[in-house]
Structure 1
Amino acid sequence: MESVSLPVWLAGVSLVLGALAVALYFYRRSARPPSEAPPTSPMQTPIRPAQACSAPDPSAAPAAPQSLAGRRQHALFVIFAKPDATTDERLTEWLRGKNARFDAERRVFLIDGQKRTNPIIVANAYPPGEMPDLLSGELRETVRGVVLLVKPPIHRRRNQQMHVYVTLAQEMDDTFRGRILDGEQNPVSELTYRRILGEERRR
């Protein structure tokens, strides 16, 4: 009888100790503050998709060069329909025919027109607005469009340069057959030209 009761007694003690150990484990786990929570294993860590990098948009909106921002000026954007090496060649010949001169500091072309002190500026229509020196054979990438800029006259009667400006914009529109937009990115109309010439205000 004694030989049977000893194993039974030992088994009972083992069960009691096991139950105490389990109870102690769950008690300590429930009492542990959140900061002491066991670390999540790498396999349990949710994988977040990487943020997509924004690729350059080839159809980004045109804008006047930052170096010329803040000036009171007219702006007409001439966006080429199919820019390629051919349009670069035509643009080069067009600039040469207008006796344009390259401003290396601002990287724009200047056309004197009727008033050298207020030249018509030909800049790249797309940021950062820098033109390659086409007349010297420099070409970094295909020019997709240009922006024509000019300061309006102080006196309305002295608007000869505005007539040159409008004529140049119309010539470029005929030559490159793309889109021509005003400074607010709206399509240009005859009304736009009349406002630049000051005719709309006299009506």
Structure 2
Amino acid sequence: MSAHTLALTLAIAAGWLSFNTLVIVGYFFVCKKEALGLAAPDSFWLTVAGKRNKTPAVSPRAKPSPAPVKESMVTAEPTPSAELDSAPPPTLPPSASYSLFVIFDRPDVTLNQKIHALLQAWEAHYDATLQVYLASGVTPQNPIRVANAYPPGSMPVEEMFLDEANVLGGVSLIVEKPKRKRGFDKVQLGKLVELSEEFAALGGSILDEERQPASRKTFKNITGS
């Protein structure tokens, strides 16, 4: 055999071997994809197409109906009127002081003179800032304040106390409520009642903080005894 014939034979054999190898590799590659589920069977596209054709058409104006809600899951919110009905009535804050009022029967300059003398006897001094008289009593840090009660207004200074334009129709006596009714604080509350009684002895009547006639119960509630 010549060299030319031998080379041609080997070339044909190599091509045939390469072709068979390519066929075998392709066969195993396809089988492996099917085994792994990567290759879909021919009927797959027919099934999908059939399902698409069977899907009902939805009108663009149609709205899906809401799912029914269970009654147990619905909680009614209280209306404003219900909240107002159930709310407790507003209460006024408690007073921060004890107060008594003495209303005079016959106000005149003579009575003003007696009032002025009583204030001096209690060593009350005029406070220009508050425009009231302060009687120290037994607790100077919490004095008895004597103000004009009827009509409400400022008290006249000492040099104008006997002026007819400053005749007093009544006085109010005020003491701040102590945190605890004991010791000198309790005595000071007794002084409040005592001074109001001395003013009433000049010719007047004592009223409580609600402008009602004061009683022994009124005084007991103040002094605690």
Alpha-carbon contact 2:126-2:134 (below 8 Å) kept: yes
- Letter of the structure 1 residue corresponding to residue 166 of structure 2: E
Map 1:1-203; keep pairs closer than 5 Å.
72-133=96-157, 135-138=158-161, 139=163, 140-158=165-183, 159-174=186-201, 176-199=202-225
Shift of 1:166: 1.1
- Letter of the structure 2 residue corresponding to residue 136 of structure 1: E
Alpha-carbon contact 2:99-2:172 (below 8 Å) kept: yes
Residues of 2 paired with 1:130 and 1:187: CA distance?
Answer: 24
What do residues 43-83 of structure 1 show as CA deviations (whole Å, max 9, x unaligned)? Answer: xxxxxxxxxxxxxxxxxxxxxxxxxxx96111111001100
Residues of 1 paired with 2:95 and 2:131: CA distance?
Answer: 17
How many percent identity over aligned positions?
Answer: 38
Alpha-carbon contact 2:160-2:166 (below 8 Å) kept: no
Q: How many residues align?
A: 128
Give the secondary structure class of the aligned counterpart of 1:161: helix
What do residues 96-142 of structure 1 show as CA deviations (whole Å, max 9, x unaligned)? Answer: 11111000111100000000000000000034421001x33444421
- Letter of the structure 1 residue corresponding to residue 159 of structure 2: S
So what's the TM-score if we normalise by structure 2? 0.54
Q: Could you say if the C-alpha distance between residues 192 and 95 of structure 1 is closer, same or farther in structure 2, counting changes exceeding 3 Å?
A: same
Residues of 1 paired with 2:167 and 2:133: CA distance?
Answer: 16
What do residues 10-60 of structure 1 show as CA deviations (whole Å, max 9, x unaligned)? Answer: xxxxxxxxxxxxxxxxxxxxxxxxxxxxxxxxxxxxxxxxxxxxxxxxxxx
What do residues 152-199 of structure 1 show as CA deviations (whole Å, max 9, x unaligned)? Answer: 22112231111111111111112x221210110110011111110112
So what's the TM-score if we normalise by structure 1? 0.59
Residues of 1 paired with 2:119 and 2:210: CA distance?
Answer: 25
Higher relative contact order (CA 8 A, sep 6+): 1
- Structure label with greater radius of gyration: 2
Alignment root-mean-square deviation, CA: 1.6
